[in-house]
Chains A and B, each alone.
Chain A
Amino acid sequence: MAKGGVPRIESADERRGLAARVSRASLFKGSVAVVGALTGAAVGGAELAASAASGGSAATDREVLTYGLLIERLQSAFYAAALAGGQLTGEARQFAQVVGAEEQAHVKYLTAALGASAGASPRFRFGDSATDPTKFIATAISLEETGLGVYNGQAVSLTPKTLAAAARIVSVEARHAAWARALAGKDPAPVAVDVPIPVAQAKQTFQPFIVQ
């Protein structure tokens, strides 16, 4: 944990709740990261300009960390479900234990950072995506890669202090993604630069696991 404890995200509109905030969709659209591997998706000029125009703020920090918390809660629940399923063995089981514990630590950290605005966790349902050993690895790769891509995309919009805190989580997510890929027999680092993932795209990955 950070030496100074958990950074508390404060802002004037903290008590005004959701209504006072910029809609998440427009906020995230404006903060898509601007790097693309030439082998992967490049980001368009409009998004680039929007990115350059937006600046960090406590409200943005909270938006980003709130989505980060959802990702961490989902990942944490996924590994708990996988371990509860009892079908994992060997390194896959070790991976679920180690990574699951780290995602739990991230949940705790972000919950504390967000304070009252953290809200309650949604419920998740993974079915055999978590318990079938082959599906488990594939789903872990998807969740970790998507989580990392979102963090990388959103981190550019954070204030420096919150970025410093988030970066300590981001590289751990990258390690998780690399480890999951290794378990699937894939190169842990497939490209020289990690392509950010827009939140809209990430939602398609996460939504099937969230109980409405």
Chain B
Amino acid sequence: MPGSDHLSLKVDDFDVDGAVREAFERMPQHTRAGFLGRTLVAGAAALGAAVAWPTAASAARDSSDITILNFALSLEYLQASFYTEADQIGALRGALAHQATVVGMHERAHVKAFKELLGPAAIKEPTFNFHGVTENPDAFRSTAVAFEDLATAAYKEQAPLIKSKSYLAGALAIHSVEARHAAWIRRLAGFLPAAHAFDDPLSDAKVVEIVNSTHFVTLKEPQTSMEAKPRFTG
């Protein structure tokens, strides 16, 4: 597959605490191979809906697919966290509040599906800081439009790169739901739900760049080594 080096670079961009790399490095070679070939089925329904990842294509599971699934998981973490926070804060009203509740449920279901599928290879959830956007209906609306159009474009770019047919089917089934979310929030924001005849894809590098530009993704606790040493005062 072309561009696998390129893709592994992108893991680092999203792998903010190195969890994915660590998980792989900890595993002995044979375990790693077995792990990659392992069949994972998300069986249980949660939150009303879940992706039923099938077992048949487990043979096709490989590292570039895992990279793509983790990339998708990262975007789902971001969205799920955003809607969940908006829902919990409760500053939204009416149709907007309903959108946040329903879409939040979907994004959490996507997170759960990817986490079950990836197992220990799943990237850890970063911490987010939405800087008050979830408390302000106008800011929430425009951010949600950006997130949903972004997710749609991101899935569109990644889908043709997925090797496993069943993962592809899952990604496509989520891709069109992200497009529905985009249409939904665009309408609530006064934009045309479907402004163009053709939706453009967006490269992973560009997606990462946009997400980073929001500063919504914050690093976890500061590394111990980077902390100032406590000063003895006694």
Contact = CB atoms under 8 A, between A and B. Distances in A.
Interface of A: 1-2, 33-39, 42-43, 45, 48-49, 51-52, 98-99, 101-102, 105-106, 109, 148, 152, 155-156, 160-161, 163-164, 167-179, 182, 187-189, 191-196
16 contacts: A33-B173, A35-B52, A37-B173, A39-B49, A51-B166, A98-B192, A160-B160, A160-B161, A167-B172, A168-B199, A171-B175, A171-B176, A172-B196, A175-B182, A189-B180, A193-B51
B173 A161 contact: no
Nearest to B174: A193
B66 to A, nearest CB: 18
Contacts of A191: 49, 106, 177
Interface in B173-204: 173-184, 187, 192-194, 196-201
Given A34-B54, A36-B52, A187-B102, A106 B180 contact: no
B194 A176 contact: yes
B19 to A, nearest CB: 25
Contact of A193 (B56, B173, B184, B192): B173
A38 to B, nearest CB: 4
B198 A1 contact: yes
B168 interface: yes
Interface residues of B, number: 54
A194 B180 CA distance: 10
B42 to A, nearest CB: 9
Interface string B146-173: 0000001000100111000110111011
Contact of A38 (B49, B161, B179, B192): B49
B194 A192 contact: no
- Chain A, interface SS category: helix
A82 to B, nearest CB: 16
Contacts of A42: 52
Given A35-B51, A35-B52, A175 B177 contact: no
B160 A163 contact: yes
Contacts of B176: 148, 152, 170-171, 173-174, 194
Interface of B: 45, 47-57, 60, 98, 102-103, 105-106, 109-110, 113, 152, 156, 159-161, 165-166, 168-170, 172-184, 187, 192-194, 196-201
B106 A175 contact: no
Q: Top 8 closest A-B pairs, CB basis?
A: A105-B197, A171-B179, A174-B179, A175-B194, A189-B180, A178-B183, A174-B176, A192-B49
A35 B52 CA distance: 6
A101 to B, nearest CB: 7
A178 B180 contact: yes
A176 B172 CA distance: 16
A95 to B, nearest CB: 9
Contacts of B60: 52
A196 B174 CA distance: 11
Contacts of B102: 187, 189
A193 B160 contact: no
Contacts of A49: 56
Most buried by A among B103, B156, B180, B181: B180
A179 B183 contact: yes
Contact of B179 (A109, A175, A193): A175
A43 to B, nearest CB: 8
A195 B173 contact: yes
Contact of B177 (A33, A161, A182, A193): A193
A194 B177 contact: yes
A143 B79 CA distance: 29
